[in-house]
Amino acid sequence: MNGLAPPSRMSKTSRFPAHPVAGLAGTSFKHEHLHAILGDDPKGGFFEVHAENYMGAGGPPHDALTKIRRDSPVSLHGVCMSIGGPRPLDKAHLGRFKALVDRYEPALVSEHLAWSTHDTTYYNDLLPLPYTPATVSRVADHIDEVQGTIGRPILLENPSTYVLFPESTMSETDFIRALVQRTGCGLLLDVNNVFVSATNHGYSALSYLADFPLDHVGEIHLAGHAEQEDDEGDLLLIDSHDGPVEDAVWTLFDIVIGRCGPLPTLIEWDSDIPSWPVLKAEAAAAQAILDRHADSLFGKAHAAG
Amino acid sequence: MPQDEFQSGDPGRRFDYAAAFTAGLLDPDRAPPDAVSGPNGKAAVKRYAVYRNNVTVSLIDALAASFPATMRITGPDFFRAMARFHVRETPPTSPLLFEYGRDFPDFIECYEYAQSMPWLADVARLERAWLDAYHAADAEPLAPGALASIPPERLADTVFVPHPATRAICSRYPVVTIFAANRSDGPVGRIQAGGPEDALVTRPGLEVFVCHLPPGGAVFLDRLVAGEPLGASAAAAFAERAEFDLSANIAGLLQAGAFTAAHQGG
């Protein structure tokens, strides 16, 4: 629909090796792990960075990301484009995002179905939006603008939410499908977000996944969550990214990979950050599930051939 | 069309869910917006409070990450209470969190409960300069021997190009000593210094470099950074402090990598 070529078909001189990301598990890149990661041999996974942390002019962040990108596939994950907000995108921020895409040639580029800036204030959280035909139109315009600027499709991430908007007239999965149809964007399926939102709003995570346009998913996120209570004393899950992935989320992940095949899968762990071996072990657990499904796919193809 | 109302900034903001949603994010006394609820008519007080908490705590965390020595001096409870006031009064205007906190030192200077620590705002100023140096553009510093190629009679006209990371911080307190003692995880020990200290902050390579500038050094550096030639900058420093030592200052700045180039002024 938008006629955007994938990065591999672009004619330009690469500063970095291609490093394919297909079928790999990866982790959030944390600066304190740099030394341990550089000492790893062989390097198996990919690394995801929050784009905004690399929007300074120079210094150690760019030095570290250059070293990481030299050895491994990198996923560039934008956190505050406010694609889901009602106001026009911040052109300066979009320009900085494009500069990072050009500079680091990431294997994956993603952003959120959420917003974080309103008027002149940046709230540093992923805030929710109502799902209506009017907001589909607005959000689709924003996705078109991002994709047009960076010259490639993005993966849009499903949110974790704690409230609903009674004015919503569409389900989240219908809303996301409409965005895919309008913009040609891909999807980042955050399985923990599915579990958190399903729990918080009293629907089944499996039926959400059954309605989700899985054919367009290009990356999976897994993360830990925390437990609180809502006003009625019922369980309210918080997308805290501060611990290991819960068993229920691993089970959903296994089901998704069984349907989609081995997709690039990221372990997000952003606070109470563990040592590198602990984080790496969590990615290895995801890799084992990806490999098991890859083997069974290969087995099927082999048997069919 | 709803789209047109978005674009014309409909005064009723019927479609501006963001305005309704943000109104109470930094104000704990406000009720949740009418526009949101829980499922099946459940209440949204605790649910909305999750967003309110995420916003406030993550911004306090951002200040704590940018001002670690300041927090070590005050202790985390004092720091987080102080930061909470600042976050509610002056939330960030940029999505780049490393830009946040430019107004925090001035806030600390006026903060009622910090008046017994008059040096605290200057420590925060030094930490803010450290963070700017950390993210500044990379540049190769001028070699310390570079001035040898300039004829002595032309030295007074020489103009220096500052490294993008170079900053001077002036203080009536021993800010460099206090900063250095509180910036690491090691024991703080006894702080001996008592006099005023001006600081040089720069980053010739990947490591931010902070040092104590000798008397008159901050005036000298500020003039050079502003593009004034060496002679005029030295005269300003002498006027400020009679004991200003020109050769020690210029050697120290070159050794620190404070400049990227030197050329003859026009």
pLDDT above 80: residue B206: yes
pLDDT above 60: residue B7: no
Question: Do the domain assignments include residue B48?
Answer: yes
Q: For residues B92 and A72, give the distance between their C-alpha atoms in angstroms, rounded to a whole number.
A: 33
Question: Do the domain assignments include residue B60?
Answer: yes
Cβ of B37 and A60 within 8 Å? Answer: no
B34 and B108 housed in the same domain:
yes
pLDDT above 80: residue B185: no
pLDDT score recorded for residue B190: 66
pLDDT above 60: residue A205: yes
Instruction: Collect all residues of chain B within an 8 Å Cβ-Cβ radius of residue A130.
Output: 17, 35
pLDDT score recorded for residue A299: 66
Higher pLDDT, B6 or B100: B100
Question: Do the domain assignments include residue B176?
Answer: yes
Cβ of B3 and A202 within 8 Å? Answer: no
Question: Do the domain assignments include residue B126?
Answer: no
Cβ of A123 and B39 within 8 Å? Answer: no
- Angle of CA points B219, B225, B227, to nearest 5°: 110
Q: Could you tell me what percent of chain A has a pLDDT over 90?
A: 89
Instruction: Collect all residues of chain A within an 8 Å Cβ-Cβ radius of residue B140.
Output: none
Domain count within chain A: 1
Instruction: Collect all residues of chain A within an 8 Å Cβ-Cβ radius of residue B141.
Output: none
Write down the pTM of the prediction: 0.93
Question: Do the domain assignments include residue A115?
Answer: yes
> Per-residue pLDDT averaged across B35-52, rounded?
96
Separation in Å, CA of B250 to nearest CA in chain A: 25
Name the residue range of residue B22's domain. Answer: 1-117
Of B19, B32, B92, the CB nearest to A124: B92
> How does pLDDT run across B64-110, given as a tens digit for each residue?
999 999 999 999 999 999 999 999 999 999 999 999 999 999 999 99
* pLDDT band, very low/low/confident/very high, at A89 (cuts 50, 70, 90): very high
- Which of residues B82, B117, B152 is at a domain's end? B117
Q: For residues A254 and A293, give the distance between their C-alpha atoms in angstroms, rounded to a whole number.
A: 9
Question: Do the domain assignments include residue A9?
Answer: no
Provide the number of CB pairs (under 8 Å) joining chain A to chain B: 151
With CA atoms as reference, the chain A residue closest to B99 would be A56
Of A59, A63, A124, the CB nearest to B58: A124
Of A80, A202, A232, the CB nearest to B95: A80
Q: Could you tell me what percent of chain B has a pLDDT over 90?
A: 83
| One-letter identity of residue A230 | D
Cβ of B96 and A55 within 8 Å? Answer: yes
Instruction: Collect all residues of chain A within an 8 Å Cβ-Cβ radius of residue B135.
Output: 56-59, 61
Question: Do the domain assignments include residue A10?
Answer: no
Question: Do the domain assignments include residue A144?
Answer: yes
Question: Do the domain assignments include residue A105?
Answer: yes
Question: Do the domain assignments include residue A38?
Answer: yes
> Per-residue pLDDT averaged across B22-51, rounded?
95
pLDDT score recorded for residue A83: 98
Q: How is B3-67 classified by DSSP, letter by letter?
A: HHHHHTT-TT-TT-HHHHHHTTTT-TTSPPPTT-B-GGG---HHHHHHHHHHHHHHHHHHHHHH-
> How does pLDDT run across B231-255, given as a tens digit for each residue?
999 999 999 999 999 999 999 999 9
Instruction: Collect all residues of chain A within an 8 Å Cβ-Cβ radius of residue B45.
Output: 231
Q: For residues B60 and B71, give the distance between their C-alpha atoms in angstroms, rounded to a whole number.
A: 11
Domain count within chain B: 2
Instruction: Collect all residues of chain A within an 8 Å Cβ-Cβ radius of residue B133.
Output: 59
CATH code: domain of residue A135:
3.20.20.150
Site from B4, B46, B167, B260 to mutate, A interface, most A CB atoms within 10 angstroms:
B46
pLDDT above 60: residue B4: no
Separation in Å, CA of B40 to nearest CA in chain A: 9
Instruction: Collect all residues of chain B within an 8 Å Cβ-Cβ radius of residue A57.
Output: 135-138, 164
> Per-residue pLDDT averaged across A228-256, rounded?
97
- Only one residue has tokens 């600042």, namely B86
Of A50-59, A100-109, A291-300, the one with minimum mean pLDDT is: A291-300
* pLDDT band, very low/low/confident/very high, at B265 (cuts 50, 70, 90): confident
pLDDT score recorded for residue A63: 98
Name the residue range of residue A141's domain. Answer: 19-304
Q: Could you tell me what percent of chain A has a pLDDT over 70?
A: 94
Higher pLDDT, A297 or A5: A297
Q: For residues B53 and B59, give the distance between their C-alpha atoms in angstroms, rounded to a whole number.
A: 10
Question: Do the domain assignments include residue B123?
Answer: no
> Per-residue pLDDT averaged across A257-277, rounded?
96
pLDDT score recorded for residue B149: 86
B57 and B149 housed in the same domain:
no
B194 and B223 housed in the same domain:
yes
pLDDT score recorded for residue A300: 57
Site from B6, B34, B201 to mutate, A interface, most A CB atoms within 10 angstroms:
B6
The closest of A250, A239, A170, A180 to A214, measured between CA atoms, is A180
> How does pLDDT run across A57-82, given as a tens digit for each residue?
999 999 999 999 999 999 999 999 99
pLDDT above 70: residue A1: no
- Which of residues B89, B117, B145 is at a domain's end? B117
Question: Do the domain assignments include residue B131?
Answer: no
Question: Do the domain assignments include residue B73?
Answer: yes
pLDDT above 50: residue A52: yes
Cβ of A163 and B48 within 8 Å? Answer: yes
Question: Do the domain assignments include residue A152?
Answer: yes
Question: Do the domain assignments include residue A35?
Answer: yes
- Only one residue has tokens 């910036």, namely B183
Query: What is the rounded average pLDDT for all residues in chain A?
Result: 93
Site from B37, B60, B86, B135 to mutate, A interface, most A CB atoms within 10 angstroms:
B135
Separation in Å, CA of A5 to nearest CA in chain B: 29
Question: Do the domain assignments include residue B128?
Answer: no
Q: For residues A38 and A71, give the distance between their C-alpha atoms in angstroms, rounded to a whole number.
A: 9
